[in-house]
C-alpha cells in the first residue's frame, strides 16, 4: 500500500527501482568485493557453481531470503520463501540482462532452541503430529552453529518416516534427511545440508551466518556498530514513533543505548549492553572496554553476531542484495531499518513478500467439496463456527422449522402478555418478563438437545472437517506457518517442489 511504501526502499513491484538500485550496486561491488562475497556462498549444484564463477567475473546481484535452522527444514514457509526468491531472481535476471543469484541465508547464530526443536506434520490418517527433539543437556543459549544433535534425533527420524509415509509410499527425500540429521552433527549444519539437497535443482546458493568467510567479510559492519557515535538510536526511535503514528507497529523493541550485537561468552550467546563507555554481557558478567571489544572482534570475528535489526544490514554490506524475500513479520521489522542502513552507508534492498500458498492433497480437496467449503473457509471461520454450521445444516428441516415457529410464537405471545401485565400492575410486567427469559432459555436447551443428537449422527462428517482443518488450519494457524513439507512429499512425488514453484506468481504481472 502507498502509505507503507514510505517506510521502505521502494515498491517491490516496480522494475524501475530495481534497475536504478542495480546500477548503484555495480559501482559498490567491484571484482574484489564479489570475490569476498563468493567465498561465503556455497553452490548447491554444478550449474550454481558455474553461475557463481560467471557472477564473480561479469558482475550481477543477488536476491536473498533466510530462515533459522528448524528441525527437518522447519515449516513450509521456508519452502515458499526459497521458491519466491528463485522466481524473483530469474525474472530480474531476464529484465536486467545480468546475473541475479538466489541466495539462502542459514540463520545459524540464532540460539532459541524452543523455536527449532520440533516440527509438525499431518500423518497418513490426516492427524496432526508434533515431532520434538529432547532438551539438550547443555542448557546454555548456544547458537545453532554450535548446538549438536544428540541421540534423540534417531527417534525423531523414525517418527518422521512413519508419519510421512502414505499407502506404502515413502518420500525419496527422507534418505537425504537421514543423511543430514545425524547424532553429533550441528543443528544448523544438518538444516543447511537438507536445504541444499532439496533445492539443488533450483541452482540455489547458500550462506551460513557463522561461516568464517562471512564473518570476515562482515567484520567492518560489526565493528562500526560498536562505535557509539554511529549508532542511530534517536533515528530508530523516531522511526518507531512514525510507524505508530501512521497506524502500524514496531515489530522489534529497541534496547536503549545498546549496539545491535550479541557476544559469544562462556555463558552462551548474550546481547551486549552499553555501560560507562564500554560494554557488558550481563549473564556472564563480562565487561569490556570499547577498545578491548574492538580488538576481540578483530582477533575472533566469530564471537560477534548481529541481532535481528542489524542482520539485514550485514547481509547487504557483504552481498549486492537487490531484494530480500520475507514473510509478514520480517517485512514489518524492515520498516524500522532505514536509519540503521543509512548509519552504515549501506543501501536498503527492496523487501518482497513471499508467496502464500496452500498445498491441498486431492483427498482433502474432495472433502472440501463434500462439505461445501472453499479453501479459505477453515481459517476464515474456525473450527467451532464451521462445526456448528455443519450440524445446523444437517438438522431435520421440519424440526428446525418447528423450533423457529415456537420461538417466534413464544416471543410474540410473551410480549403481548408483558404489555398487558405492565398496564395492569407494573411489577407484574417485570415478573412476566423473567418468565419469558426462562422459557426462551429452556427452548435454547431443547435446541441444543436436538443438535446433540444431530452431532452424533454427523460424527463422520465432523471427522472429515477435522481432517480438512489439520491441513488448512493446523492449530488454527495458516498451513505454511506450521506444517513441514514432508507432510506432502509422499503424496506429491519427486516433482512436488517444481509444481509448487510453478504456482509462485510472476512478480511483475499486472
Give the lowest-confidence range in 217-226, 278-287, 493-502: 493-502
d(CA 378, CA 383): 7
d(CA 273, CA 279): 6
**Which grid cell is 509?**
504481472
d(CA 128, CA 112): 24
pLDDT at 462: 82
pLDDT at 37: 97
The number of beta carbons lying within 10 Å of the beta carbon of residue 463 is 11
pLDDT at 232: 85
Helix (H) or strand (E) holding 205: strand 205-208
pLDDT at 250 over 90: no
Q: Is 104 helix (H, G, I), strand (E, B) or coil?
A: strand
Residue 421: pLDDT band (50, 70, 90) is confident
Report DSSP letters for 395-448, one per residue.
S-HHHHHHHHHHHHHHHHHHHHHHHHHHHH-HHHHHHHHHHHHHHHHHHHHHHH
Give the lowest-confidence range in 195-204, 209-218, 240-249, 319-328: 240-249
pLDDT at 456: 63
Query: Torsion angle, CA of 266/267/268/269, rounded to 10 degrees?
Result: -110
pLDDT at 167: 60
Which of 95-104, 273-282, 378-387, 493-502 has the highest average model confidence (pLDDT)? 95-104
Residues constituting the chain: 510
d(CA 79, CA 199): 9
CA angle 157–160–162, rounded 5-degree value: 110
Question: Mean pLDDT across the chain, nearest whole number?
Answer: 90
* Residues 281-287, mean pLDDT to the nearest whole number: 93
* Residues 174-193, mean pLDDT to the nearest whole number: 95
pLDDT at 319 over 80: yes
d(CA 40, CA 212): 8
pLDDT at 3 over 70: no
- The radius of gyration of the chain from alpha carbons, rounded to an integer in Å, stands at 29
pLDDT at 168: 62
127 close to 166: Cβ distance less than 8 angstroms: no
240 close to 232: Cβ distance less than 8 angstroms: no
pLDDT at 71 over 60: yes
Percent of the chain clearing pLDDT 70 (strictly above): 94
Residue 489: pLDDT band (50, 70, 90) is confident
pLDDT at 1 over 60: no
d(CA 338, CA 328): 17
Q: Is 486 helix (H, G, I), strand (E, B) or coil?
A: helix
pLDDT at 356 over 70: yes
Bridge partners for 169 per DSSP: 166
pLDDT at 426: 80
pLDDT at 204: 98
d(CA 226, CA 244): 28
Q: Which of 347, 303, 268 is nearest to 8 (CA)?
A: 347
Report DSSP letters for 347-399, one per residue.
PPPEEEEPP------HHHHHHHHHHT--TTHHHHH-HHHHHHHHHHHHS-HHH
pLDDT at 305 over 80: yes
Residue with cell 513491484: 13
pLDDT at 479: 96
User: What are the helix and strand counts (H, E) for the chain?
Assistant: 23, 14
Bridge partners for 274 per DSSP: 279
The packing angle between helices 290-299 and 212-225, to 10°, is 170
Exposed / middle / buried, residue 290 (Cβ in 10 Å: 0-12, 13-18, 19+): middle
Helix (H) or strand (E) holding 245: helix 233-245
Task: Give the residue with greater pLDDT, 391 vs 96.
Answer: 96
pLDDT tens profile 121-135: 999 889 999 999 999
Q: Is 350 helix (H, G, I), strand (E, B) or coil?
A: strand
pLDDT at 2 over 80: no
147 close to 186: Cβ distance less than 8 angstroms: yes
Strand 261-264 to 304-306 pairing:
antiparallel
pLDDT at 14 over 60: yes
pLDDT at 247 over 70: yes
d(CA 32, CA 247): 44
Bridge partners for 101 per DSSP: 62
pLDDT at 261 over 90: yes
Residue 277: pLDDT band (50, 70, 90) is confident
The helix, strand and coil proportions of the chain, stated in percent and rounded to the nearest 5, come to 55, 15, 30
Amino acid at each position: 500500500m502507498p502509505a507503507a511504501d514510505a517506510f521502505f526502499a521502494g515498491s517491490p513491484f516496480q522494475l524501475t527501482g530495481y534497475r536504478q538500485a542495480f546500477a548503484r550496486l555495480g559501482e559498490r561491488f567491484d571484482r574484489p568485493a564479489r570475490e569476498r562475497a563468493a567465498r561465503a556462498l556455497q553452490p548447491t549444484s554444478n550449474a550454481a557453481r558455474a553461475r557463481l564463477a560467471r557472477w564473480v567475473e561479469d558482475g550481477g546481484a543477488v536476491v536473498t531470503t533466510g530462515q533459522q535452522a528448524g528441525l527437518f527444514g522447519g515449516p513450509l514457509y521456508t519452502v515458499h520463501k526459497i521458491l519466491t526468491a528463485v522466481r524473483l531472481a530469474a525474472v530480474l535476471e531476464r529484465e536486467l540482462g545480468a546475473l541475479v543469484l538466489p541466495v539462502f541465508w542459514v540463520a545459524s547464530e540464532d540460539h532459541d532452541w524452543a523455536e527449532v526443536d520440533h516440527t509438525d506434520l499431518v500423518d497418513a490418517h490426516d492427524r496432526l503430529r508434533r515431532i520434538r527433539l529432547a532438551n539438550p543437556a547443555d542448557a546454555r543459549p548456544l547458537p545453532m552453529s554450535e548446538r549438536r544433535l544428540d541421540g534423540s534425533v534417531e527417534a525423531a527420524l523414525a517418527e518422521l518416516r512413519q508419519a510421512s509415509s502414505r499407502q506404502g509410499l515413502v518420500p525419496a527425500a527422507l534418505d537425504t534427511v537421514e543423511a543430514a540429521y545425524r547424532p553429533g552433527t550441528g543443528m544448523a549444519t544438518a538444516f543447511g545440508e537438507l536445504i541444499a539437497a532439496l533445492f539443488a535443482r533450483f541452482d540455489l546458493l547458500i550462506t551460513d551466518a557463522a561461516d568464517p568467510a562471512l564473518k570476515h567479510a562482515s567484520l567492518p559492519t560489526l565493528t562500526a556498530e560498536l562505535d557509539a557515535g554511529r549508532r542511530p538510536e534517536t533515528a530508530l526511535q523516531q522511526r518507531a514513533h512514525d510507524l505508530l503514528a501512521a497506524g502500524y507497529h514496531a515489530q522489534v523493541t529497541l534496547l536503549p543505548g545498546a549496539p545491535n550485537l550479541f557476544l559469544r561468552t562462556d555463558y552462551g550467546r548474550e546481547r551486549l549492553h552499553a555501560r560507562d563507555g564500554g560494554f557488558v554481557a550481563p549473564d556472564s558478567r563480562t565487561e569490556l572496554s570499547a577498545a578491548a571489544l574492538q580488538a576481540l572482534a578483530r582477533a575472533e570475528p566469530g564471537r560477534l553476531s548481529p541481532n535481528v535489526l542489524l542482520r539485514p544490514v550485514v547481509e547487504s554490506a557483504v552481498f549486492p542484495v537487490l531484494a530480500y524475500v520475507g514473510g509478514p513479520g520480517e517485512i514489518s521489522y524492515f520498516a524500522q531499518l532505514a536509519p540503521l542502513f543509512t548509519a552504515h552507508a549501506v543501501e536498503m534492498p527492496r523487501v518482497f513478500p513471499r508467496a502464500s500458498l496452500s498445498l491441498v492433497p486431492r483427498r482433502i480437496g474432495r472433502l472440501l467439496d463434500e462439505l461445501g467449503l472453499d479453501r479459505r473457509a477453515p481459517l476464515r471461520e474456525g473450527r467451532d463456527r464451521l462445526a456448528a454450521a455443519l450440524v445446523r445444516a444437517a438438522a431435520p428441516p421440519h424440526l428446525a422449522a418447528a423450533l423457529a415457529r415456537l420461538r417466534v410464537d413464544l416471543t410474540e405471545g410473551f410480549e403481548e402478555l408483558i404489555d398487558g401485565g405492565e398496564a395492569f400492575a407494573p411489577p407484574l410486567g417485570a415478573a412476566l418478563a423473567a418468565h419469558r427469559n426462562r422459557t426462551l432459555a429452556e427452548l435454547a436447551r431443547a435446541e441444543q438437545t436436538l443438535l446433540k443428537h444431530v452431532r452424533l449422527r454427523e460424527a463422520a462428517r465432523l471427522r472429515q472437517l477435522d481432517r480438512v482443518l489439520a491441513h488448512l488450519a493446523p492449530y488454527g494457524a495458516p498451513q505454511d506457518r506450521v506444517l513441514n513439507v514432508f507432510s506432502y512429499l509422499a503424496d506429491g512425488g519427486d516433482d512436488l517442489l517444481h509444481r509448487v514453484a510453478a504456482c509462485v506468481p510472476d512478480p511483475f504481472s499486472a
